Amino acid sequence: MIRGHEAVQALFREALRHGRLAHAYLLVGKPGIGKRLLARELAQALNCERPGYPPDGACLSCRKIRDLNHPDVIEVEAETKTLKVDQVRELCAQLRYRPFEGRTKVAVLAEAERMNAAAMNALLKTLEEPPPDTVLVLTALSLESLLPTVISRCQVVRVQPLPTAVVEEMVMEQMKVERSEARLLAVLSEGSLGKALSLDREFFLEGRRQIISRFLKLPAGAATAILDYAEELARLREDPEEVMDVFQSLYRDLLLFKEGIASTIHTDLAPAVQAAAEATSPEAILTGLERIERARRRLRQNANPRLTLAALTLALKGVPGASLESP
């Protein structure tokens, strides 16, 4: 049974118990938190040789679904940046046939927000008139890119990030690392096991120390030194979001120290972080967190990474005129 998603699992369990399963679910949440795993677990429960929720996971049907070779469980994902209309039409055509081996045919449409308008319209008829013994499960990062007509025909289920403790334990199990390293990766992952497992360990263990130590030593308002530092950051990492992760974790520690809570992230830099927290107002720390999040949004809107890092570091260090306002 999947760990950390008890609320969603309880919803599925009660729906199965009372015969109120929706014909289509839309699982919405951050990447890497287990939405597709939940969809597969539901597919297992619907076809398990021992009916009920959770599925036993050990029967032939459950094993086939786990190994992605069950004839009645179909998973579709984007082959490029867009989930194309031909993929959706092919899926809908496959759903016209009754289950071949199991009790229920399950279609998992991953990253549904990648569908273009034509693909969404092609899916509508199946959502409106689903074939018998069929359940559709769509996953998406958000509802923003989906047509209201698609959303309204699904039961929307908000999937929350995993608890840090759960990610920590799973990182230890899967990566065979010490608890201190697993805790750091878990906190930086923000509840996403997928992100925790994909983080560059060397960077977040060694590069992180350099970034934070240099940042804390930069004099406030020294624009030239700050811009040189920002340029180093841009050269250091191809993915600027990783630098944002480090800044965000630092400012969270500053906030924890300010509230009298010992650091749970940068324990190896605790004296320097505590000193910075004592010299920074709570308002400035919260403003810093807001600026980091604003910089993330700009990067996701394809803003220039170098300019965004420069604007962020200038703003965090209090250089007058530095702005991260969206154009």
Per-residue pLDDT band for 291 (boundaries 50, 70, 90) equals: very high
**Residue 190 confidence (pLDDT) above 70:** yes
Per-residue pLDDT band for 326 (boundaries 50, 70, 90) equals: very low
**Residue 44 confidence (pLDDT) above 70:** yes
Pairwise pLDDT comparison (37 vs 195), residue with the higher score: 37
**So what's the pLDDT on residue 55?**
95
**Residue 269 confidence (pLDDT) above 90:** no
Other CB atoms within 10 Å distance of the CB of residue 125: 10
Average pLDDT over residues 271-288: 92
Give me the percent of the chain exceeding a pLDDT of 70.
97
pLDDT tens by residue, 197-235: 988 787 777 788 889 999 999 988 888 999 999 998 888
Q: Collapsing DSSP states into helix, strand and coil, what is residue 302?
A: coil
Per-residue pLDDT band for 264 (boundaries 50, 70, 90) equals: low
Find which of 34-38, 81-85, 234-238 is predicted with most confidence, using mean pLDDT: 34-38
CA dist., res. 77 & res. 137, Å (int): 12
Average pLDDT over residues 267-292: 91
**So what's the pLDDT on residue 141?**
93
Per-residue pLDDT band for 51 (boundaries 50, 70, 90) equals: confident
Question: What CA–CA distances, in Å, run from 280 to 49, 208, 214, 247, 258?
Answer: 60, 21, 17, 15, 9
**Residue 43 confidence (pLDDT) above 80:** yes
Domains 6-158 and 200-316 belong to one CATH topology: no
Among 92, 102, 103, which residue's Cα sits nearest to residue 131?
A: 92
**So what's the pLDDT on residue 250?**
92
**Residue 184 confidence (pLDDT) above 80:** yes
Beta carbons within 8 Å of 152's beta carbon, 6+ residues apart: none
**So what's the pLDDT on residue 75?**
96
**So what's the pLDDT on residue 104?**
96
**So what's the pLDDT on residue 94?**
94
Q: Collapsing DSSP states into helix, strand and coil, what is residue 54?
A: coil
Average pLDDT over residues 149-172: 96
Q: Regarding the domain delimited by 200-316, which CATH topology (the fold level of the hierarchy) does it fall under?
A: Zinc Finger, Delta Prime; domain 3 (1.20.272)
146-160 per-residue burial string, b: 16 or more CB within 10 A, e: under 16: beeebbebbeebebe
**So what's the pLDDT on residue 241?**
84
Average pLDDT over residues 179-207: 85
**Residue 327 confidence (pLDDT) above 60:** no
**So what's the pLDDT on residue 324?**
60
pLDDT tens by residue, 126-148: 999 989 999 999 999 999 989 99
**So what's the pLDDT on residue 301?**
82
Task: List the domain boundaries for the chain.
Answer: 6-158, 200-316
H helix or E strand, kind and range, residue 310: helix 305-316
CATH class of the region 6-158: alpha beta
Q: Collapsing DSSP states into helix, strand and coil, what is residue 10?
A: helix
pLDDT tens by residue, 63-106: 999 999 999 999 999 888 889 999 999 999 999 999 999 999 99
pLDDT tens by residue, 162-179: 999 999 999 999 999 888
Looking at every residue in the chain, the average pLDDT score rounds to 90
**So what's the pLDDT on residue 202?**
76
Handedness of CA 113, 118, 122, 127 (dihedral sign): positive
Q: CA 84, 116, 24: angle at the middle one, nearest 5?
A: 85
**Residue 322 confidence (pLDDT) above 80:** no
